[in-house]
A and B are shown apart, each in its own frame.
Chain A
Amino acid sequence: MNAATYWYCLRSIIVREGLRFLHQRERFFAALVRPLVWLAIFAVGFRAVLGVSIIPPYETYILYDEYVVPGLVAMIQLFNGMQNSLSMVYDREMGSMRTLLVSPLPRWYLLVAKLLAGVAVSIAQVYVFLGIAWLWGVEPPPLGYLAALPALLLSGLMLGALGLLLSSFVKQLENFAGVMNFVIFPMFFASSALYPLWRIREGSPTLYQIAAWNPFTQAVELIRFSLYLRVDVPALLWVAGCLALFLGAAVLAYDPGRGFWARRGGPAEQA
């Protein structure tokens, strides 16, 4: 096992994920339509209701459309992370997960490779969305698109690792709808994706606290600042810390010696 072996493995996992994504056109459109609906309908309706004052990283008054774009970018990544987690559960039930895990490379590496593959797909979607948002009139500085890349990688990994961790708790595919309701919606709405934190504080100090601690808020702010060529250091640390925590727990959950399979049996034994 040398570096080339690891690289071939990573590359083939990313290529497969990309091919699968391209074959599922409806998934591609769904992934794109969702944030566009928010941008084109929700944001327009809210333009008049919500005035956003000058808060960092913005240097002038901005339209609500501009405020909401980083939140929608993070939403794409959140949905992708959960989608990947869903596909892990599906792969587990269908047996194709076994093909992956029988690889001689270390299991943590296989999981990280799988995560990176999912993040690569989500970043491609994000840039398509940012392109459309640009046509819509949301124009961050050109260099911001480049500066956002590392932020997108980090936040994508963090949300993907959360999905991976959740997938290890979900026993069957049917239980997944509950996870979506209990994870995606609270995370999205109790965050700074749709409204700035100071606005939330005006409404409810408790919700403000929850939103401030929400890793999704930190991911949104990390992306927002990077898009405007600034680094939000607390958000960066927060996202990196959550990534380490979620990934560590997911690797433990999938560990052959400690994980759930050793106790409950593999897909066929559960059937």
Chain B
Amino acid sequence: MYEAAIPADPPSIPAIHGPPAQAVPALAVEELSHSFGKRMALDHVSFAVPPAGFTMLLGLNGAGKTTLFSLITRLYSNRSGAIRIFGFDLRRQPTRALERIGVVFQQPTLDLDLTVRQNLRYHGGLHGMAPSDCEARAREELERIGLADRADDRVRALSGGQRRRVEIARALLHRPKLLLLDEPTVGLDTESRRHILDHVRALCRGQDLAVLWATHLMDEATDEDSVVVLHQGRLRASGTVRAVRAEAGAATLPAAFAALTTGERRP
């Protein structure tokens, strides 16, 4: 019943002048600005996330990553600029846009006293999934993260890394096409970090999924990734890691990032 709610046809893009359907970016941010009082949290930011592939959103704390995530997940709405998810404008068609997104927030958001299964059921329900569909999807996703045998354990009994994996499974339950992760490895040890990163990269390769991964940890990016560099609310660079390195004239990504974020503000 849930699938029926999502139209199979591509979103409302002019058939003649518009780009072909497969070129519609998973996420298009256009001239996005947002301020809290006088403080400009985001200042005319534009970038696109390709429909499949791994994109890193790099920025120091306070760069505007969290504000950007809040706007993309519609915690609050943008006043100027536009956000499109697979062509659906978040302000005009929030339902269509939101049902295509899966999110892993920076803060852990599982109910510790409920079991893994109860947490997943709650999420499935929030997305309007029928219980039988939800059950089947939960089994699939838990098997994929290797926690199928922990389904009836309380979340409290899981380790930090396991909880993160459950949150990723939860975010994928309703079959989103765009997975957003906000600093998903913060607070995890090196091994769990590596594990989560490998898992999401594998997901990205294995299925038709676009990933936007926000982090301040440069070593999480590889040369093949796309990268979006945000600094003090402004876009400093976007493109493949290789292109961004070349643009900054730096040998490594951390060096490129340092060059892009320490200089004077661009006009």
Task: Tell me, yes or no, whether B41 is within 8 Å of chain A by CB.
Answer: yes
| Residue in A19, A102, A110, A257 with the greatest tally of chain B CB atoms within 10 Å | A102
Interface on B for A, CB 8 Å cutoff? Answer: 1-2, 4-5, 36-37, 41, 66-67, 70, 73-77, 79, 91, 94-99, 101, 103, 105-109, 111, 113-114, 118, 121-131
A13: chain B residues within 8 A (beta carbon): 122, 125-126
A15: chain B residues within 8 A (beta carbon): 121-122, 125
| Residue in B1, B67, B70 with the greatest tally of chain A CB atoms within 10 Å | B70
B58 to chain A, nearest CB (A): 17
> Are B126 and A12 in contact (CB-based, < 8 A)?
yes
> Are A1 and B76 in contact (CB-based, < 8 A)?
no
A103 to chain B, nearest CB (A): 4
Task: Tell me, yes or no, whether A108 is within 8 Å of chain B by CB.
Answer: no
B105: chain A residues within 8 A (beta carbon): 95, 98-99
The answer for the CA separation of A266 and B68 in the assembled complex, in Å, is 11
**CB under 8 Å from chain B, chain A span 53-110:** 94-96, 98-106, 110
Knowing A2-B1, A16-B122, A96-B111, the reply to whether A259 touches B128 (Cβ < 8 A) is no
Interface residues on A, range: 35 or more
* The residue from B36, B98, B129 contacting A264, defined by CB atoms under 8 A apart: B36
B121: chain A residues within 8 A (beta carbon): 12, 15
> Are B131 and A8 in contact (CB-based, < 8 A)?
yes
A268: chain B residues within 8 A (beta carbon): 66, 70, 106-107
A16 to chain B, nearest CB (A): 5
**CB under 8 Å from chain B, chain A span 144-201:** none
B111: chain A residues within 8 A (beta carbon): 16, 20, 96
Return the 4 tightest CB-CB contacts between A and B, nearest first. Answer: A12-B125, A5-B128, A95-B107, A262-B76
Q: What are 20 A-B pairs with beta-carbon distances under 8 A?
A: A4-B1, A4-B128, A12-B121, A13-B122, A15-B121, A20-B111, A20-B113, A20-B114, A23-B114, A96-B111, A98-B107, A102-B101, A104-B96, A104-B97, A106-B95, A110-B126, A262-B76, A264-B36, A266-B67, A266-B76
